[in-house]
Each structure stands twice: as structure tokens, then as C-alpha cells.
Structure 1
Amino acid sequence: MKRMLSALPASAAMALALTGSAVAGDWYPYPVEVWDPPFNMESPRKTMDYVPLEKAAEKWDICVSFPHMKDAYWLGVDYGITEEAKRLGVKANVVEAGGYTELNTQISQIEDCVSAGADAVVIGAISFDGLNNLVKEIRSKDIPVIDVINGMSSSELSAKSLVSFGEMGAKAGEFLAKVHPAGGKAAKVAWFPGPAGAGWVEAGNTGFQSAIADSSVELVDTKYGDTGKEAQAKLVEDALEAYPDLNYIVGTAVTAEAAVPILRARGLTDQVKIVSYYYTPGVDRGIARGQILAAPTDSTVIQGRIAVDQAVRILEGKGYQKHVGPALYVVTQENHGKFDPASTLAPNGFSPIFSVD
């Protein structure tokens, strides 16, 4: 596999990711983890240095499906995918289903994309299991299917560009457990993992709960819900009403963003602290302003870029990694000044791009 991967020590990978030196100008090389055997998050991993193709040999047509574009997290994925499509010289057609309740819409949109002549499909899945029949059908036509960000259970996928959301949740939990070790005063936490049934949410929930198991963190409530800001704000309000002695709100980036003005309005910013388990511009601002304590980043933009590169490599019969994701790290108020957001966030003022010709 020409120039694609070379070993990179974990410490170097962490430093490279945090300083952002890999994303100024050309985004690569970028520190990643490779699962072997693939498609099993429990598999052994190697930390390596990802280098994509310089250009595609043909102007391939890539269909990309997202659950929604309601928050800036998916804007980051859109930015990564469309920028990499431009850089490689391929087409991209991006569709979004409108939310995590819209599985049938996502399936229909992807079917339409394939019928229109897509050479490959990249899917940010609404459901862990709910698209498996569709994946099987697409693969029967010898069309590559790349699983990006959220995760699917199908064994027939061509490749995965994603991280362990179990570890994302665990990193948020570990942050709290370090502040509140076993034997200390209980810290009461309300936890907002996201929409029930999504693969990334179930993984994040398991990781978070495992990480706080042997600490003085007391999980008083778990509230599932769509990642629209209105839905998450309602859940936060409900938790604050039910638990007036709450110490932490921990959950999705949308939860964290929604919680900031609610806590300010209620005069609770000193009592209730906020931790997110993934990263968005709102979380970035919150950490910079001292309103949010910390959040792990999964280098969302890079995941999108890698998914496009995987699709092109497969179409062109070139070597590729079947299961790869950027190395995770936690951004805190202390190290925020060293964090380059280009790996994770779309530029300020970026609007969704649905077509690259």
C-alpha cells in the first residue's frame, strides 16, 4: 500500500493531534488507530500515520448519507467529506434524513442515490442494525459501502472510518472519576447519551457508566433524546427540576451547549458543571470561556476525509485499511490553547454543502 501507513508512536500521535501540525495546509499525515481484525471494537489496535491518495484516477460518484444536519458536529463531517472529494477530484452527493427518528427516510434516500448511479456509498447510520439489509443489497451490486462516524453491525461493509464511541463516553467518565475518586464525597450526575437505539449512543453509554463505576460519581438519571437543541434543552430542564442538588450535566455536545444558558438563567453555573463526550464549535467556545470543563474529540473532519479516501481506494483496487479512526484525546480548559480545531470543526461561517461536482 503505497505511502499510506507508517508506524507512529502513541505519544507522538497525541502531540501531533493536539498541536494540529498535521492539519495546517495538507491535512495529512494524521495519527490514527487501526483495528485488526476489523469491525470489532475489541480488536487489538496499532497507532499509525494516515496518508491518503494524492488524486483519484477517475471522477467517481460518491453518495453520502447523514442522519441530519441539525448540529455543527455533522457540519464538520460534511466539511471533511466535501473538501476531500474536491481534493481527490471526485463527485459527492450528500443527503440528510432529518433526525434519528427518520430511518425509513435514510433508507429511501440511499436507495435513490444508488439508483442514480453512485459508485460508492458512505453512511453515517441512524440505526446500528436497521440498515443491514440495505447494506447487503448495495454490496450485492458490487458497490462499496463505508461506515462513517456512527457504526453499523453489518459484516458486509467494505470499510469503517470511525472511532469507539464507547471510549468517547469512557473518556468523559474518566475525567469525572479522576476529579471524584472512590471514597470521596458523592458527585451527582445527570447523563444525556443521545437518541436511544443509535449504535454510537449505546456504546457511549456503556463506556461512560463503566468509567465511573469505581468512583464517587453518582449517576442519578440517564435521559435519552434526539440531538436537536430544543429536545436536549427540555431534558436538561427536567433534570434540574428533578434533582435540585445536581453537580454535573454530562452528555452530547448539544446537551452541553443547551445547558450553558439554562444554568446561567437559573444562577447555577457555580453549582452545576458541564462535560461533553464529543466536540462541536459550541463546546469549543464553552471550554474557551470556562463554561464547559472538557470534551474528548474524535477529529470529526478527519473521519469524513478518510471515508472518502477509503471509498476511492476500494474503487481503484488500491490497498486500504478496513477499520481506521483518529486517535482520541481530551480537550480541557488547561490544554485548550494548544488545540487546533481544523481536525474537528468546520470553519466559521461554513454552510452545508450537498453536492461536489
Structure 2
Amino acid sequence: MKIPSLPRSLTSAVHRLSACAVLSLAAFGASAQPAEDRFIGLIEPIKAQKPYKIGVTVVHLHDDFYKGIVYGIEDEAKRSGVNVVQVSVAGAYGNVREQFAQLNAFKTLGVDVAVVSAAAFNGYDPILKSLKDAGIMVAAVGIPVNSANVAFGVLQDDGEIGRTLADAVCKNNDPGKILTVPGPAGAEWARLRYVGFMEQAKKCPGLAPVEGAFGGALGLQHGMTQTSDLLLRHPDAKYVYTPEISLAMGAAQAIRQQNRKVKVVSSSMVKEAIPMVKDGRLLAVVSEPGIIMGRLIVQYAIRQLEGKPTPKLSAPDKSSPYAYFNVPPELIRPDNVDKHPYHIYEIPPADWRLPVKQ
């Protein structure tokens, strides 16, 4: 039976309705897509009631960790309605005088919040007290500083980072001797990671960690020099521990030069380390989510300035003289290195430019 055709006017109307339905469904599908969570569920972001001013000083900008912190602070400030008026750099660990001058400059700038990644663990209490007395809130980011005059910190549990790396070696099911390159002397974060690593490694049957000596600087050259010497003295080594990725990359280079089958574990992921994790030179690396830390600093600062709740911020205790939040460690291995969201955790966009003004 032949079905009668619809009148042209009705056919056009049906076509228009169908098109509208398709567009509506497309729009619904787009709106139904969940927005990417830049805080990975750690906090619900809010906007500031007024344009507070933030000053920032970090140790250096040689790696993605500190770059990520600065990017996270700057980008979150824009999203939240506050202003970053100064970003300063101490230059290196131990450059406390330079950083003291930068912190003093925040008083002249009239900042509401001074954010510091301290170049040393001790010695900051007087300068931070002077900021607090001037009505400036002090926040510690990335690494600890020994002062009760800090309002809060967004950090990471350095002992837990060490323990996580030791567990990664233990779970590799190939026990043996582990060489250690502990890191720079006087850096509390390096000491805590080393202690955590050694304590946990000694609990794993068959692992034999070799005690290392603190000293030297961070960097590829120092990691390569120290590891070369250790490999010559311990030809039966199976692993090398370093607390930070530039030392680890130097260690991996030393291992390759000596044509040895030794794996490295470390912390703080950078782009250059991705292929090294893939091919197994780096057994595991703990992500240090500088971007998330920077974002959390801004959000907690707003809440404290406005007297709002600060979820997940722990009260001062034996581990910290000020309230703090430790971002949980994320272990990057060959099986997840291609899936890890680096743009959320630690690596700023390629087109982002550092806003350093001093």
C-alpha cells in the first residue's frame, strides 16, 4: 500500500522540529559533560568577597614543582577574584637573606597574604612574626618552615613520600641493595623523606638500604657524580633512591654510563622523566602536585580571611606548629605514566609565562 506524502508545509515543520530536537539533545549532551575538577575532589572552590592582595616568594623556578605552585596560585587567584601583586624568587636553598628582603617588601606592597616556600627550615620566625604583627596572614606552601607565626600550610607529608618509594621498591619483588643519595644538607623535606624511606625499606624482607651522606646541591650533575661513585663501591646494587627528580635523572645517567641494570625511585615528576618511567629506568616517581598546592593556598586564604570553614585543614600538632593540609601522594609507574593528568597536578601549560617581578 502506498503511503500518502505529507503536505510540503507540514514536511518542513517536521524537519524544523527534528533539527531543534537534535540541537536540544546536543546541547543537553554538552551540558551533561562533567567539568574537569582542578581540585581532584579535595575542596569546593569559592570566590572572594573582595580583591585581596597576595605576595609570593619561592625558593627557585628551576623545576616544575615551584613553577606549578606559582602557576596554581596565579591561575586560581584569577578564578577566585584576588590579585597576585608580587612573585619573588630566593634563587636557591639557603638564600634566606634574599627571601627575608622579599618578605619585608610585602609590607610596603600592603598584601593581605604572604605565601612562602622557605629557602631553609629554621630562622624564619622573627620575619614571619613581623608580618603577622603588621596584619599580614602568612601561608607556607610546598615545604615546611619552622614557625608558629604561619597561619596555615599546604604541604605534603615528606615522610610518607619516602615510605611510598620504599614500598614501590619492595613490591617490585626483586630484593637487593639500595643506594641512597639523601639530598642537600639542612633541607628538612629531604631529611624527612630519607628517614621515611630508610625506616620503611628496612621493614621489607631482603632489601638492604645503604646509608648515604647529606650534602651538595640539587641537580643532574650532583646526582650523576654521587651515583657514579656509589656504583663503583657497590657493584651489586639493584636500586638507587633520591629525594628529588633532578638527582634521579643524574643517577639514571650514571647508571647508563656504567651499563648497569639498576632502577631509580624518586619524587617530583617533570616532562623529561616521562620516557624514563616508560622504559623502566625510573621504577617509580611520586607526583608533587605543585599546581594543586598553589590552588589550595588561594582557597584556604580566602576562607581564613573571610572567617569561613576550612575543610580538611588539620590543627597544629607534633608534626607542624601551624594548621596544615598534606596533599596525598600519587605514585607514577610505567602502568599509569600515560594516564596521569599532569596538567592538573604538576606541569603548567606550555604557553604560560612566569610572572616573576623580582
Superposed, which structure 2 residues align to 1:294-333 within 5 Å? 294-320=284-310, 321=313, 322-333=323-334
Q: 1:276 corresponds to which letter in structure 2?
A: S
Q: Determine which of 2, 18, 27 is the counterpart of 2:38.
A: 27
Task: Tell me which residue corresponds to 1:283.
Answer: 273
After superposing the two structures, state which structure 1 stretch, 128-137 or 345-354, moved more. 345-354
Please say if 1:213 is aligned against 2:202: yes
Which residue number corresponds to residue 64 of structure 1? 56
Which residue is equivalent to 2:6? none
The CA deviation string for residues 187-238 of structure 1, in whole angstroms up to 9 with x for no partner, is 2222223222222112111111111112222222424332233333332233
1:352: how far off?
Answer: 5.0
Query: In structure 1, what is the equivalent of residue 16 of structure 2?
Result: none
Match of 1:193 in 2: 182
Match of 1:89 among 81, 89, 104: 81
Residue 240 (structure 2) pairs with residue 249 (structure 1): yes
Look up the match of 1:236: 227
Contact 1:70 1:228 in 2 (8 A): no
Deviations along 1:298-318, whole A, 9 cap, x unmatched? 422101110122222222333
User: Structure 1 CA distance, aligned partners of 2:45 and 2:182?
Assistant: 33
How many angstroms does 1:136 deviate by? Answer: 1.5
Structure 1 residue 334, shift from structure 2 partner: 1.9
TM, length-normalised to structure 2: 0.79
Name which of 280, 293, 308 aligns with 2:283. 293
Q: Deviations over 1:263-294 (max 9, x none)?
A: 223322xx211111332323333213432111
2:286 aligned counterpart, secondary structure: strand
Q: State the distance in 2 between where 1:350 and 1:133 align.
A: 39
Q: In 2, Cα distance between the equivalents of 1:125 and 1:352?
A: 23
Q: Which has the larger share of strand?
A: 1
Matching residue of 2:65 = 73
Which amino acid counterpart does residue 250 of structure 1 have in structure 2? Answer: Y
Root mean square deviation of aligned Cα = 2.3
Shift of 1:150: 0.5
Show the counterpart of 1:51. 44
Identify the residue that residue 253 of structure 2 maps to in structure 1: 261
- Could you say what secondary structure the match of 1:349 adopts? coil
User: 2:142 & 2:100 partners in 1: Cα distance?
Assistant: 17
| Residue in structure 1 matched with residue 111 of structure 2 by the alignment | 118
1:42 alignment counterpart: none
Q: Distance in 1 between matches of 2:219 and 2:284?
A: 21
The change in CA–CA distance for 1:348 and 1:222 in structure 2 (over 3 A counts) is farther
Structure 2 CA distance for aligned equivalents of residues 258 and 98 of structure 1: 21
Gapped regions of structure 2 (runs ≥ 5): 1-33, 314-322
SS at the partner of 1:151? coil
In 2, Cα distance between the equivalents of 1:282 and 1:133? 39
- In structure 1, distance between residues paired with 2:87 and 2:221: 25
What SS class does the counterpart of residue 210 from structure 2 fall into?
Answer: strand
Q: Which amino acid aligns with 2:56?
A: V
Q: Which moved more, 1:61-70 or 1:272-281?
A: 272-281
Normalising by structure 1, what TM-score?
Answer: 0.79
AA in 2 matched with 1:312: I
CA distance in 2, matches of 1:98, 1:244: 37
Structure 1 residues 194 and 135 mapped into 2: Cα distance closer, same or farther (>3 Å)?
A: same
Q: Deviations over 1:113-142 (max 9, x none)?
A: 233222111111122222122222211122
- Residue of structure 2 equivalent to 1:12: none
Does residue 179 in structure 1 map to residue 201 in structure 2?
Answer: no
Structure 2 counterpart of 1:353, one-letter code: L
Where relative contact order (Cα < 8 A, 6+ residues apart) is larger, the structure is 1
Letter paired with 2:179: A
- Give yes or no for contact 1:149–1:303 (8 Å, CA) kept in 2: yes
